[in-house]
Chain A
């Protein structure tokens, strides 16, 4: 009885997800083993694992891996660092706290395409507000999106603007739900506030931080909208992450087999990172 009930409840969703998800996965796995240069007019033909082997010597592939790693580590790192610091800062009673929490929800809810468009304008070398402000405080203007050295930091700043609030809110709500006893006994023992934060607070919210990082890492690794709208991977390929490279391989170069191969690689990376984070978290929890 119980068994039948549980499957009646969950099967419709499972079947629906399988239909929507399974076909594309199987199709991609299958195509990743083929050469399919759509533009040549011929259909896909079998290539075994040679697509994967060809990637090993593809400089642009390694560039895209590098960009993906730098962007993800930079974005995730700054979001977690700033988010946690701000959460500690806000973790007290004060007037207007609810309003401020609401304000920090806005970037999370904003449409990424709109955010990217506006930041693209703000980064404009001649007309953008950011360079105007830099000049106003006596600093030289930066090329931002036009400079291979600055384009990824510029993208990270935008990403951090949009997603640091998520980390902040997750950690803050976790902080607020913590029991008060350990803090009181620590004070009795004469610990200073830095010691309390390092040895009591942070270990207690660590699981929440890791889960927040997991959520962000899935999205940061496969960032598309932001880069597509702001730089399209440029200048040259300085900000072309793996997802953009897949898009170009498939929709600019029409090499669908290779695009599928890259998609499988990206999927594997996302899975691996999540398994890694899950292992860390479980080790800590138990």
Chain B
């Protein structure tokens, strides 16, 4: 009896020890953001200090951070919306008509080093006067979101029993009507999951935004570098900004955690 208690206790201690690892980094990031520059430069690092919200305040006050958050939001939302518009029918066709080769070719888009998109795209967008516009950023972010959403949704469509469609078609529905009225509601969990994941991937994108955004459309992963100033690295400001930009993906994760595991794993498990 007592032996099994010890065993259970050890198991939970083991779990706690493992689980602290992902958490402690976020905790340290947050605490660094709460310290003044002098506290951050103290040796050894101060565990006890009087926290200040100054870094977080200046993130929003000095550097127009709200605008950059808004930019990231707009780009991610539109990239996801357009990806759904084009990706859902494609995913359905791939699943229903077994066009897996086409599915695989879509993945090639992800395999191309993003860096090799940069110069050609920059030239095109310049010619079209689209650099530093949402259109340019959204278009490039489709590279990430569209194949991903198709890839996830294929699995969801494959799980829909074909009898459901056939029954509807006997009732006189066209393929398109079946798709919109029957299938979309059935796979809504998948749509939700893939949308949120697509949103997170777009939100986190750095390289495209570095080159193709400007003052008006700069997204947060690029804007965070504004805290590396000419004179010294502002640890508190950087940590506060890092906390701020990574908070939205973390909160979204809380909302979709169950579906997210499914979304990330279903592709892999079914492959």
Number of chain A interface residues as a range? 35 or more
Pick from A16, A103, A122: contact of B22, CB below 8 A: A103
A68 to B271, CA, bound (A): 26
Asked whether A174 lies within 8 Å of B269 as measured between CB atoms, the reply is: yes
Contacts known (A110-B250, A121-B235, A243-B113); A165 close to B22, Cβ less than 8 A: yes
| Partner among B14, B142, B224 whose Cβ is within 8 Å of the Cβ of A113 | B224
Residues of B within 8 Å of A211, CB to CB, are: 267-269, 271
Return chain B residues, CB-CB under 8 Å to A17: 106, 109, 146-147
Does B63 sit within 8 A of A, measured CB to CB? no
B113:A266 contact, CB within 8 angstroms: yes
Query: B245 on the interface (CB 8 Å rule)?
Result: yes
Query: Which residue in chain B gives the minimum CB-CB distance to A3?
Result: B97
Q: Indicate whether A117 sits within 8 Å of B116 (C-beta atoms), given known contacts A10-B89, A109-B200, A109-B252.
A: no
Q: Is B142 within 8 A of A225, CB to CB?
A: no
Give every chain A residue within 8 A of B23 (Cβ-Cβ): 103, 106
Q: B175 near A225 (CB under 8 angstroms)?
A: no
The answer to whether B45 and A127 have CB atoms under 8 Å apart is yes
Q: Scan B126-164; emit 1 where CB is below 8 A from any A CB, else 0.
A: 000000000000011011001100100000000000000
The residues of B that contact A271 with a CB separation of less than 8 Å are 108, 111
Also in contact, A13 and B90, with CB within 8 A (given A121-B239, A243-B115): yes
Cβ of A282 to closest chain B Cβ, rounded Å: 10
**Given A21-B108, A25-B112, is A170 in contact with B264 using a C-beta cutoff of 8 Å?**
yes
B264 contacts A166, C-beta separation under 8 Å: yes
Q: Once bound together, how far apart are the Cα atoms of A16 and B149, in whole Å?
A: 14
Cβ-closest chain B residue relative to A114: B242
Task: Choose among A101, A112, A132 the residue that contacts B261 (Cβ–Cβ < 8 A).
Answer: A101
A25→B254 CA distance, assembly (Å): 38
A39 interfacial by beta-carbon distance below 8 Å? no
Chain A residues in 8 Å Cβ range of B268 = 170, 174, 208, 211-212, 215
Contact A222 B113 (CB under 8 A): yes
Q: Is B260's beta carbon under 8 Å from chain A?
A: yes
Tell me, yes or no, whether B19 is within 8 Å of chain A by CB: yes
Chain A residues near B264: list those with CB within 8 A.
108, 166, 169-170
Contact B97 A2 (CB under 8 A): yes
Residue of A with least CB distance to B12: A94
CA distance A165 to B257 in the complex (A): 13
Residues of A within 8 A of B265 (CB): 169-170, 173-174, 208
Contact partners of A161 in chain B: CB under 8 A: 21-22, 25
Residue of A nearest to B224 (CB): A113
How many chain B residues touch A (CB < 8 A): the figure is: 86
Give every chain A residue within 8 A of B140 (Cβ-Cβ).
20
> How near does chain A come to B77, taking the closest CB pair, in angstroms?
17
SS of A interface (majority): helix
Known: A170-B264, A173-B261. A112 touches B206 (CB 8 A): yes
Alpha-carbon distance A80/B208, docked complex (angstroms): 29
Cβ A6 vs Cβ B113 within 8 A: no
> CA separation between A226 and B132, bound complex, in Å?
24
In the assembled complex, B172 has its CB within 8 A of some CB on chain A: no
Q: Distance (Å) between the CB of A279 and the closest chain B CB?
A: 13
Closest CB in chain A relative to B170 CB, distance in Å: 15
The 5 A-B pairs at the shortest CB distance, nearest first, are namely A13-B90, A263-B116, A114-B242, A9-B93, A9-B89
Further contacts, 9 of them, CB under 8 A, given A20-B143, A121-B238, A170-B269: A9-B90, A10-B93, A12-B89, A98-B257, A104-B22, A118-B28, A121-B235, A211-B269, A250-B118
B residues near A (Cβ < 8 Å) are 11-12, 14-15, 18-19, 21-23, 25-26, 28-29, 32, 40-41, 43-45, 86-87, 89-90, 92-94, 96-97, 99, 102, 106, 108-121, 124, 139-140, 142-143, 146-147, 150, 175, 179, 200, 203-204, 206-207, 220-221, 224, 235, 238-239, 242-243, 245-246, 249-250, 252-254, 257-258, 260-262, 264-265, 267-269, 271
Sample of 21 A–B contacts (CB below 8 Å) = A5-B175, A9-B90, A10-B102, A17-B146, A24-B117, A94-B15, A103-B22, A103-B23, A111-B203, A113-B242, A113-B245, A114-B29, A127-B45, A132-B45, A166-B264, A170-B268, A174-B265, A211-B271, A263-B115, A267-B116, A274-B111
